[in-house]
Structure 1
Amino acid sequence: MENWTWEICIIGLALTAFTLINILSKSYKHQSDWLLCIWLVLLNIPLFHTTLSYLDHDAPRFNLVTNPTLNLLHGPILYLYVQTLVSNQKISFGKSELLHLIPFVVFYIAFISMDHSQPMRPTLDNPEHASSLFALLMARFGLINGLIFIAYSIATIFALRKHQKNISGIFSRNDNLISLKWLFALPATFAVLVILNFLNEGMLDSTAVIKPLTFHMLSFLSFTVLLCFFGVKQKPVFLFQPALTEVDIALKTAAANDGEIAVEAPDTSACDMSDEATAQLIEDMQEYMLREKPFLNADFSVYTLADAVNTPRRNLSQVLNNGLSKNFYQYVNEYRIEEVKRLLKDPALAKSTILDIAFRCGFKSKSSFNSLFKQHCEMTPSQYRKQLKQHSPVDTSHHTPPSS
């Protein structure tokens, strides 16, 4: 198993190099892109150092840049990376953000002040390393590092859950790039790897399934694969708008950062619109949805609808919540379901698959479509189509709006 270490390191380094080139070649790079690049470089420092040691056993250790205290940066970067993705304005990275670096700075000073001729992770019962506070900290580095990452993982999960509650009122789709579900895999992967690492190192050297060094490199590779696969195509959530090019994204973000685009503050107050104004807005929304069918665009958002009916976004959201007892996600997808039902009745599309029709109507996820269709129609799409075959064809020219 020890021979795997070389291959694991080469795979990780090659994958990271390809991903970095891909990200840095973008015409516009968001804060999240830069954080992702920094994170990938940090993850690959151990892989690079292990590869260098494999090629030359007498190679210098470069303790200032390859020491284990760099692992303390993974938790803060995970949390800040999520914040840059879910925020609709630029993160300032001021004093409050710099506080996240305190554990790393303390342990980094402790590490470089120690005698590097001794083992990298001293123990408390080693008298040569138990004479200072820094030595005591380093003796418990693994435990403290794990606790810090767990704390940041919990904070990240809370931030993601809050984000997922908010997006149903803004976006009409809920895939990975919007919901950021893939980021839940990072803390979960860390927890699994820590448990497996303890189990593996707890065995005698002769019975260990994987050598500790190989397992550590495999852990870094696991994180690298997740970040490269999902991170390279991830962009800030609030820049997911219909037909935006990279230039549009750059201009939109720059305007928001310069204060040219006002960022609406959350409004939890009751809707102060009159019943007549509310009814008129609902009618305008329905007319626009039926006439333009904007829901066919998977990236259709509440901002687009608010612009179309010429009303502030928070007013529109309040009308949906209070007037129709729905959020934006439910409202739009009801129109999509009705459009799917209409097209399923069309004889010209009899040979089209249900999934093709669903994607044509604005859905981007098979699981979301099936779940919403069953919830709306109390039967699966396949059952609905089978039921249609038992009846004579009907007129498909009229689109029935969802019930209000």
Structure 2
Amino acid sequence: MNEVEIGLIDSNFNWEICIVGLALTIFTLVNIASKKVKHSSDILLCVWLVLLNVPLIHMCLVHFNLHIPLLHKYTNPTLNLLHGPLLYLYVRKLTSMRVHLSKLTALHMVPFILTYILFISFSHPQPMTPMPENPEMQMGPVGNNWVFTLFQPLLVHFALINGLSFISYGALTFYLLAKHQTKIEGFFSQKNNQITLSWIYALPTILVLVVVANFINEEVLVTANRINPQTLHMISFVSIITILCFFGVKQKPVFYRQQTASSVPEENQKTPTAATDNQGLPVSEAVMKEVIEKMQTYMLNKKPYLDPEFSVYSLADAIDVPRRILSTVLNRGLCKNFYQYVTEFRVEEMKSLLGKRENQQKNILDLAFECGFKSKSSFNGLFKQHTGTTPSQYRQAMSEAQVKSV
């Protein structure tokens, strides 16, 4: 197979990849536009999807032998410096309890803005498409401006800067997600994909893998065995697009339901009479005892834990205690978080159901769902953690005990 044929196959393959990415994006954008309630994270997702499709659009133009200089100039490869910050800001939007992010987050855009201005200020004898790793890249002069002369190496070493950006923001995103896993245990009684955001781990992983794959492909492999760099980039972009389209379209900010669950702001909710510190947190043992008693009474009488969506805000509303105080009582008074607190009630409820004769023939998983558990894996692990035995073993032991008592 000659070199021309190889190039033709790569070109066709890239074209097919681009069609998949563009089709998924159009479908997702229409889906988001039709939502009755749109969140700021949805808007950010749309912006990111459009940017991810820029190199795909360029590839489609190449496929049809269309060359639009102005489009290449203003939708240039420096846009890739936005992917890392957009990933970070998207995760911040999903995990933050604040409606608006700090103005300092705009600083994440500074490297892109600087590089973008430099790029469009230089003349480019050869367009950098779809990525600026082209070893034959050349840049024309921009006059005698010493500023541009000073910063010209930024474009020459753009591939390195872009790779470092991917790795840095990938690591930062992993850090945010790790903090989020700890945080949600104080608010939710369940852990599902939309709460843990486990699907997002794939995004920074892909960004880092792109850097590693490029390095291996260009520095390690011999020329004859190298993959077309454009194909690598198209696959990586479409992979991210696919994940965002499948999961992102259904994803709400994690604390959105909690922000809207209570019609009464926390600062206006009734608080048990007690001395408080400057953050409004209780410091009296009497207050902790009072709140714990109200919690226990409500949990035992109403059994709200049977609802899989039961949250700390639901409990706070029910017993008329601000969420901050409730969380403090759980952490300081009971030495546990909300997730652990509710799990104990669910396990005890499950033990009660397994001990009843009329439930001996019922499916254990069905009983678990009745108790408020939402997944088989988490239920089995939590039940064994609290009882030291599996649900099946526990039911068998209870059945044998009942037979002996007869």
**Does residue 376 of the first structure (1) align with residue 386 of the second (2)?**
yes
Corresponding position of 1:364: 374
**Does residue 86 of the first structure (1) align with residue 95 of the second (2)?**
yes
Give % identity: 50
Unmatched 5+ stretches in structure 1:
242-248, 396-404
CA distance in 2, matches of 1:356, 1:138: 60
CA drift at 1:333: 0.7
Q: Against the structure 1 CA distance between its residues 65 and 343, is the aligned structure 2 distance closer, same or farther, given a 3 Å change threshold?
A: farther
CA distance in 2, matches of 1:370, 1:326: 20
Equivalent pair of 2:350/2:371 in contact (CA under 8 Å):
yes
Q: TM-score, normalised by structure 1?
A: 0.84
Corresponding position of 2:117: 109
CA distance in 2, matches of 1:167, 1:74: 26
CA drift at 1:28: 1.1
Q: Against the structure 1 CA distance between its residues 128 and 330, is the aligned structure 2 distance closer, same or farther, given a 3 Å change threshold?
A: closer
CA distance in 2, matches of 1:315, 1:167: 17
CA drift at 1:274: 2.9
CA distance in 1, matches of 2:278, 2:380: 33
Amino acid in structure 2 at the alignment position of 1:321:
N
CA drift at 1:164: 2.1
CA distance in 2, matches of 1:393, 1:308: 42
CA distance in 2, matches of 1:105, 1:234: 29
Corresponding position of 2:4: none
CA distance in 1, matches of 2:400, 2:13: 60
Equivalent pair of 2:166/2:208 in contact (CA under 8 Å):
no
CA drift at 1:309: 1.6
CA drift at 1:68: 0.7
CA distance in 2, matches of 1:298, 1:309: 19
Corresponding position of 1:343: 353
Structure 1 residues 3-402: aligned runs within 5 Å = 3-54=12-63, 56-61=64-69, 62-91=71-100, 94=103, 96-118=104-126, 120=128, 121=132, 132-202=149-219, 203-208=221-226, 210-241=227-258, 252=260, 271-275=282-286, 277-392=287-402
CA distance in 2, matches of 1:156, 1:293: 37
Matched residue count: 378
Equivalent pair of 2:166/2:211 in contact (CA under 8 Å):
no
CA distance in 2, matches of 1:346, 1:255: 40
Aligned-pair RMSD on alpha carbons? 3.1
Amino acid in structure 2 at the alignment position of 1:109:
I
CA distance in 1, matches of 2:122, 2:261: 45
Report SS of the residue matched to 1:240.
Answer: helix
**The structure with more helix, counted as a fraction of residues:** 2
27-36 or 17-26: which moved more?
A: 17-26
Equivalent pair of 2:266/2:322 in contact (CA under 8 Å):
no
CA drift at 1:234: 1.0
Q: Against the structure 1 CA distance between its residues 6 and 253, is the aligned structure 2 distance closer, same or farther, given a 3 Å change threshold?
A: farther
CA distance in 2, matches of 1:394, 1:20: 64
CA drift at 1:84: 1.3
CA distance in 1, matches of 2:262, 2:321: 24
**Larger-gyration structure (1/2):** 2
CA drift at 1:328: 0.8
Q: Deviations over 1:73-103 (max 9, x none)?
A: 1111111111211222221564x23222211
Corresponding position of 2:273: none
Q: Which has the higher contact order (CA 8 A, sep 6+)?
A: 1
CA distance in 2, matches of 1:255, 1:283: 24
